[in-house]
Amino acid sequence: MKEKMYHMWLQYNSIDGPDLQAYQKLFEEVALMGSSSIMEVIKEELNIAIKNMLHISPKITTNQKAKIVIGNINQLNELLENKKKQEIESMSNEGYLLYFFEEQLYVVGKTDQAVLYGTFHLLRLIQLRRTLNTLNISEQPTNQLRMLNQWDNLDGSIERGYSGNSIFYEAGKIVRDKSRLKDYARFLASIGINAISINNVNVWEEETFFITEKYLPEIKEISDIFHSYGVQLFLSINFASPIAIDHLETADPLQPEVMQWWSNKVKEIYDYIPTFGGFVVKADSEHRPGPFTYDRDHADGANMLAEALAPYDGKVIWRCFVYNCVQDWRDRNTDRARAAYDHFKPLDGRFHPNVILQIKNGPMDFQVREPVSPLIGAMEKTNQMIEFQVAQEYTGQQKDLCYLIPQWKEVLEFDTHIKGVGTTIEKIVAGNIHPYRYSGIAAVSNIGNDQNWTGHTLAQANLYGYGRLTWNPSLGSEEIAKEWIIQTFGKNANLESVILEMLLESWEIYENYTAPLGVGWMVTPGIHYGPNIDGYEYSRWGTYHFADRDGIGVDRTKETGTGYTEQYAEPNKSVYNSPTTCPDDLLLFFHHVPYKYTLKNGKTVIQHIYDTHFKGLEQVKELRKKWNSLESEIDDARFENVRERLALQEDNAREWCDQINTYFYRKSGIQDQHQRTIY
């Protein structure tokens, strides 16, 4: 039954009961109009899905009188009412209609790519057992770019990968058998992902040559596969490529020979891959090369690449994860959280229109709890997109269960007040606040070559949820989870109820037994899993939490701290600057307070630390009980996978509980009010 692990949410489980006959009658004949590569994959998907779900092989024709008619607006123009024509003409190129009219079901897209999304929507409705003869759906994505970043390396490893090795590369070569890449493209298209970068943002020696004829023929093959599913391919690049590839003496972005080198290189790429999306760039951070070497700034570096890409409608996605990784963290005037805003805000208006700044959702690094980055929306004249992390680097590494959709929704719903009340992150990255030419959402992928793709079977929900949320941020965490559960495990009320409860509780549970009140980190340096309370990535510069015998937390206030709170617009600036108004769950991110400081719930900080860590461990034990109750309702392979992961999670939670409580008991000298054992 390992194939069930492999197929994730495209199980296409057999339909039975009263729904079957109605679905079968509808799908006896399907009119599929058009003959593009995308239309071919639609045909393939229909055959797979209908055979598995309905036990019939649909007759695929071009008969416009068929019960189901699928095509783009040009192909179906004569069949549509004027009202429907006007409706679809007003949509973006990815918009579609799904409606029932005079005994026929229509899937009509603005383009073939939109038709593909509409077809997957239809198949999802069948998996969810929805009635089709009353459909009247109009859909288009909220976000223009809906991207995944693969951090895969040519040797087959994945930086921050927790699901096996790369599906793209092995042993220093691009994989020969690309069938799994096609399945990955299917999964991504089914949830509306439309862009992917296929190599690590930290581009090392050999990966630099991906933009040369040594690798471009095979990368074209990969691009063609993803293009057939509406997913545009990008490559991460080494900013110093002119030196590394052709031994130029410089990579200075303002030197004519460097500009010409990139112009020639981009032309070569597009000669191989006409549908190429552009470059993802990490520069001048964590020892990666960039324009700082030549006393240039980020706008100089990004614009040079943008000029080379502009004739081909290519884009530069320039990551804002830029900070001095060897800074003295003990210096009051040094604050890694300030870095992105301090670097990029002064450059607003200087970037070319095909440059997009990619900004992590928080100012630090994908912590279980941190504030929203103040840079998002702060640059009115510069395209921006937000970056999430589907890979659970700091949230359990797909050993521990942590359903991340509630966290991402909280970020997207955050009101920046940059343009007054209602200036949410959701609206900013959708391009509805500032006149961005390009915007959207990107995320670090969580897949590898494990049989189930994500290591932890339940971690598939994060990938599924990411796609659904980027398409439509108004979807609820519970709604998304239910969709995933039914498609993945079948229609089973008890199973749905138990897994739903596990998913929706999991973020809070993980936060309970790890770093408290927004302080973050406390993880083993380099590994980023398991507790190390005083751990710091660059060890000689102290800790992130500044705990001493009197208190804990980082002072980021205007008056006595790093001044980070000043990067926010009012009223957030004032709310965060005062411990009395700062939300408790971010208190230690913004303030250094005594251990006996009283939270809004009436507990002291130290008692909150004790209580949440004991509680988190008990909650993980309950997760195990809930899952074990489902043993007879789930196939052995998936049941055992999750059972083993939950056992690992309990070990991890116990270690966190013991170490955190012991550390702060010894640091503060304050006993637990409930007299529980602390070693």
Residues 6+ apart with CB under 8 A from 568: 374, 416, 576
Secondary structure of 214-232 in the HEC alphabet? CCHHHHHHHHHHHHCCCCE
Question: Of how many residues is the chain composed?
Answer: 679
Query: Is 297 among the residues known to form the active site?
Result: no
Q: Please, is 204 exposed, middle or buried when counting C-beta atoms within 10 Å of its C-beta (0-12, 13-18, 19+)?
A: middle
Strands 173-174 vs 169-170: parallel, antiparallel or unpaired: antiparallel
Residues 6+ apart with CB under 8 A from 156: 165, 166, 169, 170, 171, 172
Strands 96-101 vs 104-109: parallel, antiparallel or unpaired: antiparallel
Query: Is 286 among the residues known to form the active site?
Result: yes
Residue with tokens 């939300």: 583
Residues 6+ apart with CB under 8 A from 274: none
* DSSP string covering 483-512: HHHHHHH-S-HHHHHHHHHHHHHHHHHHHH
- CA gap 364, 389 in Å, rounded: 13
Is the Cβ–Cβ distance between 429 and 379 less than 8 Å? Answer: no
Is the Cβ–Cβ distance between 679 and 662 less than 8 Å? Answer: yes
Q: How many CB atoms lie within 10 A of CB 1?
A: 10
CA distances from 197 to 183, 193, 215, 612 (A): 17, 12, 15, 39
Kindly name the residue from 224, 286, 380, 655 that is annotated as catalytic: 286
Chain center to CA of 185: 16
Query: Is 636 among the residues known to form the active site?
Result: no
Secondary structure of 337-354 in the HEC alphabet? HHHHHHHHHHHCCCCCCC
Strands 278-281 vs 232-237: parallel, antiparallel or unpaired: parallel
Of 660, 662, 656, which Cα lies nearest the Cα of 679? 662
Is the Cβ–Cβ distance between 595 and 485 less than 8 Å? Answer: no
- CA gap 643, 633 in Å, rounded: 14
Kindly name the residue from 393, 483, 555, 611 that is annotated as catalytic: 393
Kindly name the residue from 365, 400, 450, 611 that is annotated as catalytic: 365
- CA gap 626, 618 in Å, rounded: 13
Of 231, 79, 188, which Cα lies nearest the Cα of 88? 79
> Token digits for 584?
């408790």
Q: Which residues are catalytic?
A: 286, 365, 393
